[in-house]
Amino acid sequence: MSTPMWHQYETPEDVAEAACQRIQQAAKKAISERGCFKLVLAGGSTPQLTYEKLTQCNCNWRHWQIYYGDERCLPVDHPERNSHMANYSLLQQVAIPEENHFPIPAELGLVQGAAAYSQTIRHNFPFDLVLLGMGEDGHTASLFPGHSIENDALVIAVSNAPKPPPERVSLTPTALNQSRQLLFLITGSNKSTAVSQWRSGENLPISLIQCQGVSEVLIDRTAAS
């Protein structure tokens, strides 16, 4: 298990550019070594800039497989779905085959969605690259402070999430840690308290993420201050 390496950038744009470069490099390596690139997308708003930048890159898209770290229990085309943001900022702009897109079926509800997605990912480890954000309270994916996680579960049903909507489906640390590489993308002054708590060793949900491979935190100046 590796502790993350921290890289600070001036602006969210610089974070997105650095993330885009790393994702491209990881994809090239994975495809040359194993013929496919298994990428887990982060939700929330931070990664949108990175996804938009990826659309300008010349990647071997047909070998990309897209998974998600979490999803909100909303209808498939709801604008607040993480898959909705990924679709319009990246997936509808590049030639990743439809059959290589594995959205979390959170529209089935939190319990059914979690059970179904556990079957989807259980034979696909290790991921090649996991992208994650962080909330102001140190949550990541839909792993929130004070919420219990069944020990060896891969995907959990989340209710009473403090960040709306309350019902979600989330990969667990057990699943997220099974990756060759991991990138945390963190920007904005509202994250600075949780960042310093994390760095000083406080027990936050994000602290549970210690991937088997290389992990890095790409952070902008305001989140690091």
* Binding positions for ligand 6PG, rule: CB under 6 A: 42-46, 70, 72, 82, 133-135, 139-142, 163
Q: Which two tokens stand for residue 50?
A: 């990175």
Least distance in Å: CB of 166 to ligand 6PG? 12
Closer by beta carbon to ligand 6PG, 59 or else 185: 185
Q: Which two tokens stand for residue 21?
A: 């470069």
Least distance in Å: CB of 14 to ligand 6PG? 16
Give CA–CA dist 194/171, Å, rounded: 21
The amino acid at residue 113 is: G
Closer by beta carbon to ligand 6PG, 59 or else 106: 106
Least distance in Å: CB of 137 to ligand 6PG? 9
Least distance in Å: CB of 134 to ligand 6PG? 6
Q: Count CB-CB contacts under 10 A for residue 97.
A: 12
Q: Which two tokens stand for residue 60?
A: 């071997």
Closer by beta carbon to ligand 6PG, 59 or else 194: 194
Give CA–CA dist 92/199, Å, rounded: 37
Give CA–CA dist 71/142, Å, rounded: 8
Closer by beta carbon to ligand 6PG, 59 or else 161: 161
In eight-state DSSP terms, residue 75 is -
